[in-house]
Structure 1
Amino acid sequence: MLTFKLAALAFGVEGFGAYAVARRAISILAFPMMLGLSVSLPRCVASLPAGKGGGKGGVFLLAAWLIAVPGMAALTLGAATRPGAMAVLMFGRGGHEELVWPTVAAVLGLCGHTIVYGFEMGRMRLGAAGTLWLVNLAAVPPAAVALSGGEVPRALLGLGIGWSVASAVAGLSLAAGLRIGTPRAWGAALRELVRFGVPRMPGDLAMFGLFAVPTILVAHRSGLEPAGLVSFGLSLVQMIGSVFTAAGMLLLPIVSRLRADGRIGEARRLVDRSLMASLAAGVLIVLAAEASLATVITMLLDEGFTPAAGLARRLLPAAVPFVAYIVLRGPIDALDVWPHNAVNLGLALAVTSAVMIFGSGPMEAATASLAGFSVLGLASIWSVRRCLAKAERVSRAERKVAGALAASP
């Protein structure tokens, strides 16, 4: 919010639009290059036996770079040879070629951040990972805007340089003690990362759709002004869910380690307590937001936007099941290779789209979103129960085999 406030002051209405679109383009362009590394890398490193996440985990770090570098090189080559086409790809039209290279620089920096952060999370170096997250996502963006001199290209270039430098410094601290193994080990690690990460990419696309489809359909059927109100309401849902993002991120490597050690009962208790505490906190936040919504809207936007309060009140309850998904997606990915989260997100998007068939107004869009997020939350709870039960069965079978081998002469 601080970054966008600074951007609005520094760039004006037109420049702010270009900056906002570029920030969206950065996230979208980085997504296919990563092939699910944001989930697969911490999960695979954390699943290594205790004491192996540092040295042996270096094989996964190298494999992650082998996955990301070809896409990064292709994007750089495209910016160098076809800047006009890249401007159309990023911004929907030509005439913004001056933003192409700064945007590409930011994409490359974000890719580096994703890999280094994911590896640190997998090794359970939570202090180092949290520091990198704080620097890159909380400090660099507003600093880049503040030092841009009111020029959008300089702000985007500062974003890329800041992310790259911070990730490089953090990455250099990883070099000591890492073992990268043999080419055969690289291939095995690469296959494991791709096998786990790629099936989760459709889920990320469905997540984009879950927040975009209601807004787009309202824009086409009812106009931009009501679509903007729907978008703002969904942004509030997303903001509430973001409060619990750290919980889901932490649970991914922790539950992965517990599963690798066969401590499924401990994992179940941790997941249950985390879910109950998060849901209770989510309900309280929603109630507080409902009570102070007019003040929140005036603070974030302007007094002229207070008519958005009615629609936002209808959308806010969707934040509670969304919190359930945010908290449980990490444990679900930690417990099973099957992409349960991607399936659940696809189901939620299908429900949202189906309900939108019956109405095109903003209130109908709010109802559709509430239905979709409710399905997502319930499906996440059901999936984590299934994954825990499956992990317990596998763990019991492994213990029986180990016992039989120990008892044999």
Structure 2
Amino acid sequence: MTPLPSDDDVLAPYDAVLLVSFGGPEAPDEVMPFLRRVTAGRDVPEERLLDVAAHYDHFGGRSPINDQNRALVAALTDEIARRGSDVPVLWGNRNSDPFLADTLRAARAEGLLRLCVVLTSAYSSYSSCRQYRENLAAATEELGVAAADLVIDKVRPYAVHPGFVAVNTEALVEAIADLPENGDASTRLLFVTHSVPEAMDDTSGPGDGEGNLYVDQHLRVGALVAEGLRERTGRDLQHELVFCSRSGSPRTPWLEPDVNDRITELAAEGVTTVVVAPIGFVSDHMEVVNDLDREARATAERLGVRFVRVPTAGTHPVFVETLVDLVEERAAEARGEVVLPAHADSGDLRPSVCDAGCCPNLREALPALCGRD
């Protein structure tokens, strides 16, 4: 869905698009400072940080996420230009250079005052939405009076957007093309996402007491992707949702099952092939290349189970077009136009301005941008 522009520029009134991401280290000496920033205020033991830091050793102390974001910035810039706009694409991270406050300071200096934010996180929860909004608020607070005339909006969560679903479906179709259909009964499709504390899932979504939107969105995306697979190929793989990258205190309940535990159980049940589709991630960053490509693959190989990993959306042209569509949609809203996305009647649509109490911070109340509280 691409709204019709009411101005010469399809992205008016925005001066720039701001890609906001998690960030990651790009050299060995950056790993521990990065991990300390990520876990600040959470009393994570130093030993645990050292364990996590060891994951980066397998990749030369460099996370792939920043390179992924550089490629995405370039792809978004090209797509925006293709649509006849010269609005620049900026990039800021929560936990590594380029830091959000620095990016906002540079934007302000260039006279880019009205920004539309795109998150490299598609789902609804504290860690995948509100925490980014808190970081935006903290960045503007760091700028002080220099941020007074900045206007920052955000596109809506886009996990169930037909474009995101289509890219994940296409990736799955291509990934299993070489698998014989007569083996489908002994094949399991595992949709994978980042585990979060159960309490975070319980409070994800609007502040109306319903909760569990984080898991519900993943289940919905998985069902849509599996349905797309059936429609395109006639193949009906048994599928389920599993999790990776658990961290934090072992006393805190986190979403399960872990992908490695589930592969172990499936092998005992006679499953001979696992197809791992990381629908919870938009690019191949550390949780994908370490937790899936290295650790889960090793688990499968140890058990004699064939391991097939489906690519993430990355810079797939349809995904890039989807993100720019979302910016155009948000621009239309900012211009006061009525916007009705094609899938508005699906029940899965989330607002671009978060409701009060949506996906709350359970540790402390912090200001957050792009919401009603």
Task: Give the TM-score normalised by structure 1.
Answer: 0.27
When you count helix as a share of all residues, which structure comes out higher? 1
User: Rg: which structure is higher?
Assistant: 1
When you count strand as a share of all residues, which structure comes out higher? 2
